């Protein structure tokens, strides 16, 4: 993919790399009619209904702490240029570039699908991860309320859930989350990439500002909701110097637990990220990519289980040591266990025995 010098305000990228599953690719061509005057037209976000017939997605990945997840949205308007989920948009016949940020597929019948799946006699309760691929609280959620409806079903079934978000919109659902926390049914993890507002504005343009995320952590903690923080991604030579500062800030805000993930650059993401570096961090671009390769065995990416989240080599080991030293010094702990024993399908009480619940 050729480097783009266009920057669209509020978007992580201005390019749409070819879908890797297409046999024919279209390349832009300068015919001399574009004068270059004025700002480029800002593409609007388009919401598209997702006709999926199931909601729960199961995985057997040994390096993630859950075996099932829900993603109410496919694509994400937050526009984080580093997002490892971007390549999944190719399965929707879209580009992992600007399409990922502007063509948002949503699941309008998500609550009904979830209710049917949880009510199946063969279903066995384990924590559900909500919004781990794309943010369940991205801007479209303000009007669509799909995530809120999912939480209402989970509360009704008394089903445990772990939420990952970088949006302050999660505070809207404090009424539901508080009820779930009282029954040990919920954890919320807030993703914090940087405390530098300028860096955040270009790196994740439509996500909540860093200081706003700290306020969200405080609000969750004050409501009695167990909250963790994920420093993700740690980008060598760009935000890695902030590890200790971020941990200190989120601990003061009320986070109980913390973790981190090294930058991952699968498929088209590596070229999108390189392009972003040339646009926004040209003096650091070469150094950043050299360090990335230091953590990935000389490559841009390493997708192997057990390696993809943390990386390898001396530099990765240094990051791990710094993180764990600060983590221990600041007194972080583990999140409380979920109460899986509360799960039950509504109305399922064995006849009159339901009167004694």
Given pLDDT bands bounded at 50, 70 and 90, which one contains residue 352? very low
**How many percent of the chain have pLDDT more than 90?**
80
State the CATH number of the domain containing residue 133.
Answer: 3.80.30.30
Residue ranges making up the domain that contains 249: 46-332
Task: Count how many domains the chain has.
Answer: 1
Is the whole model's pTM more than 0.85, yes or no? yes
Mean pLDDT of 109-124: 96
Crossing angle (nearest 10°) for helices 174-182 and 210-222: 50
Using CA atoms of 14, 16, 282, 247 in order, give the dihedral in degrees to the nearest 10. 80
pLDDT tens-digit series, residues 176-218: 999 999 999 999 999 999 999 999 999 999 999 999 999 999 9
pLDDT tens-digit series, residues 261-314: 999 999 999 999 999 999 999 999 999 999 999 999 999 998 888 788 899 999
Question: Is residue 3 in some structural domain?
Answer: no
For the chain, first and last CA: distance in Å?
Answer: 61
Question: Is residue 355 in some structural domain?
Answer: no
Cβ atoms < 10 Å from Cβ of 123: 15
Beta bridge partners of 68: 58
Question: Is residue 352 in some structural domain?
Answer: no
Question: Is residue 223 in some structural domain?
Answer: yes
Question: Is residue 2 in some structural domain?
Answer: no
Element (H, E) at 47: strand 46-49
Question: Is residue 8 in some structural domain?
Answer: no
**Residue in the block written with tokens 């990220």:** 273
Sheet holding 257-262, edge to edge: 57-58, 68-70, 128-130, 161-165, 186-191, 227-234, 257-262
Report cis status (omega within 30 of 0) of the bond before 340.
no
pLDDT of residue 126: 97
Question: Is residue 22 in some structural domain?
Answer: no
Give phi and psi for 259, each to the nearest 5.
-150, 180
């Amino acid at each position: 993919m050729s480097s783009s010098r266009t920057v669209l305000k509020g978007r992580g990228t201005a390019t749409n790399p070819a879908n890797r599953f297409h046999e024919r690719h279209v390349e832009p061509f300068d015919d001399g009619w574009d004068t270059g005057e004025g700002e480029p037209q800002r593409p609007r976000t388009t919401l598209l209904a997702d006709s999926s017939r199931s909601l729960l997605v199961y995985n057997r990945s040994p390096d993630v702490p859950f075996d099932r997840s829900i993603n109410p949205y496919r694509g994400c308007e937050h526009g984080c240029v580093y997002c490892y989920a971007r390549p999944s948009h190719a399965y929707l016949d879209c580009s992992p570039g600007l399409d990922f940020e502007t063509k948002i597929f949503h699941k309008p019948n998500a609550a009904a699908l979830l209710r049917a799946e949880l009510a199946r006699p063969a279903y066995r309760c384990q924590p559900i991860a909500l919004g781990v691929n794309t943010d369940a609280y991205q801007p479209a959620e303000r009007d669509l309320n799909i995530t809120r409806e999912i939480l209402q079903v989970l509360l009704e079934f008394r089903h445990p859930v772990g939420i990952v978000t970088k949006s302050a919109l999660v505070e809207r659902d404090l009424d539901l989350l508080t009820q779930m926390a009282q029954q040990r049914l919920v954890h919320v993890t807030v993703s914090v990439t940087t405390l530098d507002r300028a860096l955040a504005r270009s790196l994740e343009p439509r996500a909540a500002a860093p200081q706003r995320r700290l306020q969200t952590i405080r609000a969750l903690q004050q409501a009695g909701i167990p909250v963790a923080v994920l420093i993700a991604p740690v980008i060598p030579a760009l935000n890695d110097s902030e590890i200790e500062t971020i941990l200190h800030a989120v601990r003061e805000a009320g986070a109980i637990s913390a973790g981190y993930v090294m930058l991952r650059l699968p498929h088209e993401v590596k070229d999108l990220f390189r392009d972003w570096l040339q646009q926004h961090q040209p003096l650091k671009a070469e150094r950043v990519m050299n360090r990335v390769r230091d953590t990935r065995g000389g490559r841009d990416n390493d997708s192997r289980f057990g390696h993809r989240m943390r990386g390898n080599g001396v530099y990765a080991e240094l990051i791990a040591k710094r993180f764990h030293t600060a983590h221990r010094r600041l007194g972080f702990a583990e999140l409380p266990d979920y109460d899986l024993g509360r799960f039950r399908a509504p109305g399922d009480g064995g006849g009159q025995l339901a009167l004694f619940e």
